[in-house]
Amino acid sequence: MTDNKKNNPEKKNSTSSQDQESIGVLSRRLFLSKGFAASTGSFLLASSARATSKSEINPAALQTDFKFKGKILTPSDLEFRNVAFGGLWNKLHTNRLPQIIACVADEEDVVAAVKFARANKLKVSIRGGGHNWCAPSLRNGGILIDLTNLNKVISIDPTARKAVLQPIISNRETQAQLKPYNLAYPTGHCPPVKLSGYLLSGGMAWNQGVWGPGIGSVEAIELVTPEAKMITASADQNQDYYWAARGAGPGLFAVATRYHLKLYPLPQAMAASVYYYPYENLVEVAEWLGPLAGKLPSKIELSLFILSAPPELADKCKLSAGKVCLVTATIFADTQDEAKAALAPLDSCPLIEKCLSKSIAQPTDFEALFDASGALWPANLRNRVDALFSNANPADLFKAVDSHFLKVPSAKTLIMFALFTGSNIPAPLPDACFSMSAKLYGGPWTMWDQSSNDQSNIEWHDQCVQLLKPYMSGHYVSETDTVGHPTYAKDSYKEANWHRLAELRKKYDPEGVFFNFTDGLS
Ligand SMILES: Cc1cc2nc3c(=O)[nH]c(=O)nc-3n(C[C@H](O)[C@H](O)[C@H](O)COP(=O)(O)OP(=O)(O)OC[C@H]3O[C@@H](n4cnc5c(N)ncnc54)[C@H](O)[C@@H]3O)c2cc1C
């Protein structure tokens, strides 16, 4: 299968009239992605039959004929590029642009926008929080439905431990809303990421060992379908949509407008241990940590990082180009005694004498955890990310990349692997498209500032993924480059799930109203 590498970062912010014309031309070409067609034919057959030439479309009709209340933007509007690119986390931009952006005012506007798209044979893409690292919300042509205003907490029922939330609510805000009720949800790790695409992708969550992935606690999802109907999907109704929405990520053929969440009691004694070891001891630390992970309770979240040393340790890390090895263990416990006892084995590392700095079983909370994650994955950077699942020994993974990491062009880049704890690998959910499960999850988060350094960082990143490839069992669909490497989408699912998703798309979106994983990328 041929990878699509035409996502040229150099063309950032350069939508000349020529580009805009080419967008129209591309839309008329029906977005055929030839290389991918061979092996994923059903996706393409289902989605290649829509396109209207730009000149035939009257965007104002969205308001006049379809009663759309939000903001409509076309390339001639000053705000158009700001909304298209400004809402993206990754500052390594693409030159893909839609023909129209429809910023919805409410859920009914989503219905109106899909109806308009159908009437005009425009393909639909969706902007949730804009945090997907490879920006699949931007496609060449079509209508981009921007959900930014779907940001309301609809209800929280502390007695039933249930909440209904619109998609554009961040991880930090979700936990903050639930805390007064002593409740919590398996959100993602970084503060600003929105529930929107996080949940649809599966959701690698805080306390995943106990609560499961984020999507595992979504009891129902309200969706707008390709026929522009509002439906609720759950285990009891519209089960195919429920199955697909639980993991399809950028491959979903519907718009999620509300999530019905099952909540959990907030753990009363969260605590974290942090150990910095010399980079030279990385492989030994990984060799010790691998077997230990299986013996720790699953309520401990365990991660091993390689990254630039914090300023206070920089002097001690000169021999390793300023790099250091970091072990973090966070427990979602209910008493401090439980937390201390469970984290104690982390202190018995045979290399503990070499530890450069440590902090043991310190009480923490979601606010502090978000602050810590936010510092590791800062905003306003250029990024390439590929998070992988693996059943290899962590030592083998780190051996594969330890010398490569010493040559990393950017000091902001890190490699992290989360080691699932507990005696069993978390089983895949029985009734969800999300199907990856393994002993480890992680990879390189390549982050840098300057466009002049794009090439060196992208090359370094791609080499790093190649070094890890022999050890991986799959990709994570929303933290991997499904745009630059469309095969990574397929590699994010068990074969049967990938095929079922394709079949469901063919059944429920036969006209290809929604962009699939690959349409409109080149
Ligand atoms: C700093 C950072 C930290 C992260 N940490 C984690 C983590 O801890 N765990 C984890 O699992 N992931 C994590 N991610 C990845 C993130 O969860 C995914 O990339 C997710 O897709 C982002 O959601 P979004 O709504 O911002 O996506 P967007 O970029 O807005 O959308 C991406 C695609 O998702 C689909 N989509 C989004 N919303 C909807 C919707 N409402 N209805 C239908 N389709 C929709 C669309 O196809 C869209 O093209 C992190 C990302 C960042 C930037």
Reported as type and span, the H/E element at residue 390 is strand 388-390
Distance from the alpha carbon of residue 202 to the mean position of ligand 1, in angstroms: 10
pLDDT at 55: 60
Give 185-252 as a DSSP string.
----SSTT-BHHHHHHH----TTHHHH-SGGGGEEEEEEE-TTS-EEEEESSSSHHHHHHHTT-GGG-
Q: Tell me, what's the pLDDT at 43?
A: 32
Q: Is 200 in the pocket of ligand 1 (CB under 6 A)?
A: yes
Q: Does ligand 1 have an atom closer than 6 angstroms to the CB of 147? A: yes
Residues 87 and 199 in one domain: no
pLDDT in tens, 200-256: 999 999 999 999 999 999 999 999 999 999 999 999 999 999 999 999 999 999 999
Establish whether residue 136 lines the binding site of ligand 1, counting it when its CB lies within 6 angstroms of any ligand atom: yes
Q: Which helix (H) or strand (E) holds 382?
A: strand 382-385
Q: Which of 113, 467, 419, 121 is nearest to 287 (CA)?
A: 419
The amino acid sitting at 413 is T
| 340 CA distance to ligand 1 middle (Å) | 34
**Taking Cα atoms as reference points, which of 72, 187, 194, 92 lies closest to residue 133?**
92
Distance 197 CA to ligand 1 centre (A): 3
Q: Does residue 134 have its Cβ closer than 6 Å to ligand 1?
A: no
Helices (H) and strands (E) in the chain, counts: 17, 20
How many CB atoms are located within 10 Å of the residue 428 CB? Answer: 18
Name the closest-CA residue to atom 7, ligand 1. Answer: 188
Is 517 contained in some domain? no
Please indicate whether residue 377, judged by its CB atom, sits closer than 6 Å to ligand 1: yes
Q: pLDDT at position 44, please?
A: 30
**Is the residue at 323 inside a domain?**
yes
Residue of 83, 89, 101, 132 to test ligand 1 pocket, by largest number of atoms within 8 Å of CB: 132
Distances (CA, A) of 399 to 101, 404, 412, 447: 46, 10, 21, 22
Eight-state DSSP code of residue 109:
H
Whether 225 is in the pocket of ligand 1, judged by its Cβ within 6 Å, is: no
From the number of C-beta atoms within 10 Å of its C-beta (0-12, 13-18, 19+), residue 317 rates as buried
Q: Is residue 463 part of a domain?
A: yes
Q: What is the pLDDT along the chain (522 residues), one digit of tens a residue?
A: 333 333 333 333 333 333 333 333 333 333 333 333 333 333 332 334 465 555 689 999 999 999 999 999 999 999 999 999 999 999 998 889 999 999 999 999 999 999 999 999 999 999 999 999 999 999 999 999 999 999 999 999 999 999 999 999 999 999 999 999 999 999 999 999 999 999 999 999 999 999 999 999 999 999 999 999 999 999 999 999 999 999 999 999 999 999 999 999 999 999 999 999 999 999 999 999 999 999 999 999 999 999 999 999 999 999 999 999 999 999 999 999 999 999 999 999 999 999 999 999 999 999 999 999 999 999 999 999 999 999 999 999 999 999 999 999 999 999 999 999 998 888 889 899 999 999 999 999 999 999 999 999 999 999 999 999 999 999 999 999 999 999 999 999 999 999 999 999 999 999 999 999 999 998
Q: Which among 265, 285, 304 is the end of a domain? A: 265
**Å from CA of 138 to ligand 1 middle:** 13
Please report the DSSP string for 70-106 in residue order: SEEE-TTSTHHHHHHHHT-S--S------SEEEE-SS
Residue 434 shares a structural domain with residue 356: yes
- Most ligand 1 atoms within 8 A of CB, residue of 479, 481, 483 to mutate: 479
CA distances 199 to 216, 277, 301, 463, Å, are 9, 34, 19, 30
Q: Are residues 29 and 126 in the same domain?
A: yes
Domain boundary among 146, 168, 200: 146
The predicted structure's pLDDT at residue 50: 62
What pLDDT shows up at residue 56?
A: 81
Torsion, CA 359, CA 362, CA 368, CA 369, rounded to 10: 70
CB 190 less than 6 A from any atom of ligand 1: yes
- The CATH number that applies at residue 284 is 3.40.462.20
145 C-beta closer than 6 A to ligand 1 = no
- Domains of the chain: total: 3
Residue 344 belongs to a domain: yes
Residue 204 and residue 213 in contact, taking contact as beta carbons nearer than 8 Å: yes
Do residues 15 and 129 both lie within one domain? yes
Structural domain includes residue 256: yes
Compute, in angstroms, the gap from residue 377 CA to the centroid of ligand 1: 15
Instruction: Return the CA Rg of the chain.
Output: 23
Q: Which atom of ligand 1 is least distant from the CA of 202?
A: 11
381 three-class SS: coil
Asked whether residue 166 is domain-assigned, the answer is: yes
Same domain, 184 and 76: no
- Per-residue pLDDT at 485: 93
Which token pair is 184?
């919590």
Closest atom of ligand 1 relative to the 198 alpha carbon: 17
Indicate which residue's Cα is closest to atom 41 of ligand 1: 256
Shared domain for 314 and 414, answered yes or no, is yes
188 lines ligand 1 (CB under 6 A): yes
Distance, CA 203 to ligand 1 centroid (Å)? 9
90 lines ligand 1 (CB under 6 A): no
Of all atoms in ligand 1, which is nearest to the CA of residue 203?
A: 11
Q: Ligand 1: does its nearest atom lie under 6 Å from the Cβ of 198?
A: yes
Q: Is residue 357 assigned to a domain?
A: yes
Residue 216 Cα to ligand 1 midpoint, Å, equals: 16
For residue 230, what are the β-bridge partners?
224
Q: Which residue's CA is the closest to the ligand 1 atom numbered 6?
A: 188
State if residue 482 touches ligand 1 by the CB under 6 angstroms criterion.
no
Q: Work out whether the CA dihedral 290, 419, 247, 143 comes out positive or negative.
A: negative
Ligand 1 contact, 171 CB (< 6 A):
no
From the list 434, 428, 430, the residue with the least C-alpha distance to 247 is 434
CA distance between the termini of the chain: 16
Say which DSSP state 514 is in: B
Residues 220 and 274 in one domain: no
Same domain, 470 and 321: yes
pLDDT value of position 507: 98
Q: Which of 173, 225, 176, 181 is nearest to 198 (CA)?
A: 173
Do 291 and 415 share a structural domain? yes
291 and 244 in a single domain? The answer is no
Q: 10 Å Cβ neighbour count for 79?
A: 12
Distance 129 CA to ligand 1 centre (A): 7
Q: What angle do CA 372, 373, 376 make, to 5 degrees?
A: 95
- My answer on whether 171 and 197 are in the same domain is yes
Which of 111, 198, 514 has most ligand 1 atoms within 8 Å of CB, for mutation? 198
Measured from the Cα of 135, ligand 1's closest atom is 29
Domain-terminating residue out of 265, 293, 310: 265
Task: Please give the sequence-ordered ranges of beta strands (E in DSSP) within 235-381, or none if there are none.
Answer: 255-262, 264-265, 269-278, 300-308, 323-333, 357-363
Instruction: Residue 102: give its domain's CATH number.
Output: 3.30.43.10
93 and 44, same structural domain? yes
**CATH no. for residue 213?**
3.30.465.10
Q: Is residue 322 part of a domain?
A: yes
What residue numbers bound the domain in which 44 lies? Answer: 9-146
Q: Residues 447, 413: contact at Cβ < 8 Å? A: yes
